[in-house]
Amino acid sequence: MAGTVPLFRMEGISKRYGGVRALEKADLTVEPGRIHAILGENGAGKSTLIKVMAGVVSPDEGRMTMEGRPLVFASPAAANQAGIASIFQELSLVPELSVADNIVICDPPKKFGMIDRRAQRRIAEAALARAGADDIHPCALVKDLPLSRRQMVEIAKALARRPRILILDEATSALAAADVARVFSVLKRLRTEGLALLYISHRMNEIAELADECTVFRNGRNVATYAAGTRSEHEVVELMIGREYSHVFPAKPERDFRGATPMLECRNLSWTGRLNDISLTVAPGEVVGLGGLDGQGQRELLLAFFGVLRGMSGKIMVNGRAVRITSPAAARGDAIGMALIPEDRKTEGLMLPMSVRENLSFAALDRLTTAGVIDRAAEQRMIDDMVKLLAIKTAGLDIPVGALSGGNQQKVVIAKWLMRQPGIILLNDPTRGIDVGTKQEMYRLLRRLADEGAAILFYSTDYDELIGCCDRVLVLYDGAISRELTGSELTEHALIASALNLAGGKPGVSPGAAA
Amino acid sequence: MKDWRYWIAEQRGALLAFGIFLVMFTIYTSNHPAGLTANVVQTASNKGVLLAFVAMAQTLVVITAGIDLSVGMIFILTNCLASWLVVGTPAETALGVAAVLLAGLLCGAVNGAIVIFGRLQPIVATIATGAIYFGLALLLRPFPGGSVNEDLADALTGRLFGVLPASLVVLVMVVLVVWVPFRRSVTGRAAYATGSSELAAYMSGVPIRRARFAAYSLSGLLAAIGGLFLTFFTYTGEAAYASGNAYTLFSIAAVVLGGVSLFGGRGSAVGAIFGALAFRTIGDLLFVFDFDPLWQPLFQGVVLLFAVSLGALALFRVRNRLEWFG
């Protein structure tokens, strides 16, 4: 291959949405056999860049070439044909179809004009094996798989297309740590096979491990391209946000919570084999983290507190009083005062087509209502306070919440619950897919809420976050608490070791003793 | 898990409909004065296939997460058309049959085009086109009348080899010639994908428009086959408004009974056929137990509710309330 003609190049690509410039004369060069990381805050233009490459949106100006030949994509299918496969942040799998159906969906094998099921099965099995996910049954329906397995199917699906360029947009954000390791070895193998990989992630450690070169985007432009390892993490963050960046995490107060009556407590909580004899306490003012690999029961534990699960055994106590929480409506009520920031803001947190205003007041409507009529003035006051408190960036309160950026959407979800002034706040991986700046604001907010007396139970898949934000971290393994880490024990090494339930993680705190 | 378990899980709706039909039909025949004779089966088959065809037609559209409220009217329009065209010499008759089928296909294609290119909600678009199709039927047959090639009609409503009901054989053939290839084709796969998640289908480069268009068009064709059979049974054409509406609504009932999800993406025409046959057998059951036919609508409603509740039983076993909304 000639050294002068790159595999893929885009030059001067611009894209505007209304008055907003998503991309402004962006350039990018992609070479085979290399992993190219794209960095940038949300709204920096990464998503638009990917969408242009994948044929989802067409640019207003600029040109793309593949080995010197100009490319124009009319649809995602055209980009596929050209050899560009993408794995999107929003999963592109069809839930009611089987894993095998999904893997071959772009170009099913045919015999006599009909889909050849045997060939389909072979292709699917091969693709799953290539993606390092051969534990997934090709006949299983995608909707029955947990999020992390779906992501593996998504990767297998992209590989089945035999692409020359593979785009991974936050592809590991839903993955359990064990899967991330497998995906990384797969990606490294693909690199040696001569594939060009474009890797978008907010996780710096992943980029440090994988990337050969990095391009940083800011405000729709590529501001810097450099060989991996030539810039410090600090410098990279500076490039991304373009401002001084000092303490990521707010300081933790030195406090001892052991004497206090726990605000939230559970004893011997079990549920259908997914939660096994869990006991824990959260004191007012305390931020307790839930760690461990994804899918070890963290999500179920939060749902159990929030009254979503049926047929649980064990006891839940609020302020030392035993309570029965039978629905989210009961959980948020005045007697309990609980809020849950859900995992998936787009489906569980927001009504996307409805306005920012409506979304903000949903959870607190009962408090804003007199004799069945919403007090618009009181609603406006509360909304104004929240928009100010969380610095929500929106063009107006009456635009659909779906039009906001991911970080601002998540702020709306949190603000909606803060309007009830909850005493107990449960968070399910709230910073996934959110830019560094918003994350930092969120960490400060959490600490502030805790200082004001809230009890916070915080599940995160990001180890740095657990270490930086939490007073104490409970590591879950197979539905049970395998270890409790406090103070100086709270290190990345200890977290990973106990998440994997390694012998090096010391004998775990016995679950009963935590109460 | 073994492969067959996945197959069972996928076909659960259709199997349930088959089970309900089998139970009801067994009760019916065991209480019938004549018992299980070729004659009884033939009569049951002839009664059942009409709704079965219309239900198949509805299934195709429902799979794409749409709904077709004009199937009953296409059924009536093609009946009226057939009462003009399916007459005369064998050659003329064959031409007439082809013309009627083409007309049905065209009606379906118009629905599809409006939904896809007009971007109208299927429910609104097909209410409108349904009214138009009925208007055309009324112009063709302001009064009941016309005729049909009786040799063909008798052959297709009679028995093959003295035992097999011909109408049932035609139904099976239509399943093999229309449904199975559709289900196995890329277009059919695309129809399921579109119904399940249009966004994911689009992002995967699935031919969404082609799938929708094919689903609506084939739906019209299947409704036309139903219309032809109506003509074969009655020997006349009649623009019966109530009948058209009833078939539309019953087709939705049959589809739901047959385990086809109204949210799209799941279910099969075979399930819908058993749903239709089960729905039809309710009337026969009332007959053998000497109930006044006036009770029929009431009982159909009760059985439908009961059957749909059976499908919803799984909800009581849900331990995570979020799955209620999945």
Q: What is the pLDDT of residues B216-241, one digit of tens each?
A: 999 999 999 999 999 999 999 999 99
A273: nearest CA in chain B?
Answer: B319
Arithmetic mean of pLDDT, A453-469: 88
Do the Cβ atoms of B278 and B256 come closer than 8 Å? no
Q: What is the ipTM of this complex?
A: 0.78
Reference A428, options A315, A345, A501; nearest CA is A345
Question: Which residue pairs from A398-405 have beta carbons closer than 8 angstroms and sit at least 24 positions apart in sequence?
Answer: A398/A355, A398/A356, A398/A357, A399/A355, A399/A356, A400/A352, A400/A353, A400/A354, A400/A355, A400/A356, A401/A350, A401/A351, A401/A352, A401/A354, A401/A355, A401/A356, A401/A359, A402/A350, A402/A352, A402/A353, A404/A356, A405/A42, A405/A43
Annotate A316-352 with DSSP letters as a single string. EEETTEEE---SHHHHHSTTT-EEEE-S-IIIII--T
Give the pLDDT mean for B210-220: 95
| A231 residue type, one letter | R
Which of A21-30, B194-203, B287-296 shows the lowest mean pLDDT across its residues?
B287-296
**Average pLDDT of span B30-49:** 86
Q: Are A357 and A383 in contact (CB under 8 A)?
A: yes
Closest alpha carbon to A8 in A80, A51, A73, A70: A70
pLDDT recorded at residue A508: 41
Would you call B204 and A76 a contact, using CB atoms and an 8 Å cutoff? Answer: yes
- Rounded Cα distance between A325 and A127, Å, is 45
Identify the residue with better confidence: A282 or A334.
A282
Tell whether the model's pLDDT for residue A505 goes beyond 50.
no
Least confident of A23-37, A160-174, A302-316: A160-174
Does A434 have pLDDT greater than 50? yes
- Cα(B309)–Cα(B271) distance, integer angstroms: 17
Residue matched to tokens 């407590």: A265
How far is Cα B278 from Cα B275, in angstroms, rounded to an integer?
A: 5
Average pLDDT over residues A492-510: 61
B165 has a pLDDT exceeding 70: yes
DSSP 3-state percent helix, strand, coil across chain B (nearest 5): 80, 0, 20
The three-state DSSP-derived secondary structure of B263-297 is CCCCCCHHHHHHHHHHHHHHHHHHHHCCCCHHHHH
At residue A335, the pLDDT reads: 87
- Name the one residue in this structure whose structure tokens are 């490039």: A239
Q: What is the pLDDT of residues A374-408, one digit of tens each?
A: 888 888 998 998 888 888 888 888 888 888 888 88
Average pLDDT, chain B: 89
pLDDT value at residue A250: 84
Q: What is the mean pLDDT of residues A315-340?
A: 91
- Among A220, A211, A318, A171, smallest CA distance to A24 is for A220
pLDDT of A55 over the 90 cut: no
For residue A269, pLDDT over 90 is answered with: yes
Residue among B10, B203, B319 minimizing CB distance to A310: B319
pLDDT at A263 over 90: yes
Least confident of A81-90, A266-275, A478-487, B52-61: A81-90
Tracing tokens 């909580």 back to the chain, one arrives at A269
CB contact residues (below 8 A), chain B span 80-119, against chain A:
none
Class of the domain covering B16-23+43-309:
mainly alpha
- Model confidence at B275, pLDDT cuts 50, 70, 90, reads very high
Judge whether B322 is closer than 8 Å to chain A, CB to CB: yes
Spatial strand order in the sheet of A287-291: A338-341, A424-428, A455-459, A287-291, A472-477, A480-486
Residues of A in contact with B185 (CB under 8 A): 113-115
The answer to whether residue A424 scores a pLDDT higher than 80 is yes
* Residue extents of the structural domains in chain B: 16-23+43-309
Burial class of residue B318, CB neighbours in 10 A (0-12, 13-18, 19+): middle
Q: Which domains are assigned to chain A?
A: 8-241 (3.40.50.300), 258-333+446-509 (3.40.50.300), 338-421 (no CATH)
What's residue A513's pLDDT?
37
pLDDT of residue A392: 86
Residue B314 with chain A: CB contacts under 8 Å = none
Q: What angle in degrees, to the nearest 10, is found between the helix axes of A406-418 and A436-451?
A: 10
Instruction: Determine, for residues A105 and B196 on separate chains, whether the beta-carbon distance falls below 8 Å.
Output: no
Residue B262 CA to residue B43 CA, distance in Å, equals 31
Q: Which residues of B84-116 are buried (b: 16+ CB within 10 A; e: fewer)?
A: bbbbeeeeebeebbebbbebbbebbbbbbbbbb
What are A93-129's pLDDT values in tens digits?
A: 888 899 999 998 888 888 888 888 899 999 999 999 8
Reported confidence tier of residue A367, pLDDT bands at 50, 70, 90? confident
Closest CA to B218 of B98, B111, B97: B111
Residues in A touching B179 (Cβ below 8 Å) = none
Cβ within 8 Å of residue A256, ≥6 positions away = none
pLDDT tops 60 at residue A427: yes
Which residues, listed in sequence order, are joined to residue B129 by a DSSP beta bridge?
A: none
* B49/B232 Cα distance (integer angstroms): 12
What angle in degrees, to the nearest 10, is found between the helix axes of B241-257 and B38-63?
80
Measure the CA–CA gap between B192 and B205, rounded to whole angstroms. Answer: 14
pLDDT of residue B141: 92
Which residues, including other chains, have CB under 8 Å from residue B96's CB and lie 6 or more apart? Answer: B82, B85, B86, B87, B88, B149
pLDDT at B176 over 90: yes
What does the pLDDT look like over A113-122, one tens digit per residue?
888 889 999 9
Instruction: Flag whether pLDDT at B112 surpasses 80.
Output: yes
Residue B125 binned pLDDT confidence (cut-offs 50, 70, 90): very high
Would an 8 Å CB–CB cutoff place B198 in contact with chain A? Answer: no
> Which residue of B194, B203, B208 is the best one to mutate when testing the A interface, meaning the one whose CB has the most A CBs within 10 A?
B203
How many residue pairs from chains A and B have C-beta atoms closer than 8 A? Answer: 102
For the beta carbon of residue A268, count every other beta carbon within 10 angstroms. 14
Is pLDDT of B97 > 90? yes
Q: Residue A177: which of A500, A427, A466, A444 has the closest Cα?
A: A500
Q: State yes or no: pLDDT of A203 exceeds 80.
A: no
pTM score: 0.74
Low-confidence winner among A135-139, A148-152, A176-180, B208-212 (lowest mean pLDDT): A176-180
The strand pair at A264-271 and A221-227 is best described as unpaired
The owner of tokens 């049970």 is: A480
Measured between beta carbons, which residues in chain A are less than 8 angstroms from residue B316? none
> Residue B318: is its pLDDT beyond 80?
no
CA distance A266 to A278: 7
Q: Assign A244 a pLDDT band (cuts: 50, 70, 90).
A: very low
Residues of chain A in contact with residue B184, where contact means CB-CB under 8 angstroms, are: 114-115, 117
The helix-helix angle for B269-288 and B3-31 (nearest 10°) equals 20
A241 — pLDDT class (breaks 50, 70, 90) = low
Which residues of chain A are at the B interface, by a Cβ-Cβ cutoff of 8 Å? Answer: 56, 75-78, 80, 88, 90-98, 101-102, 105-106, 108, 110, 113-115, 117, 137, 139-141, 143, 157, 271-272, 300, 303, 308-311, 327, 348
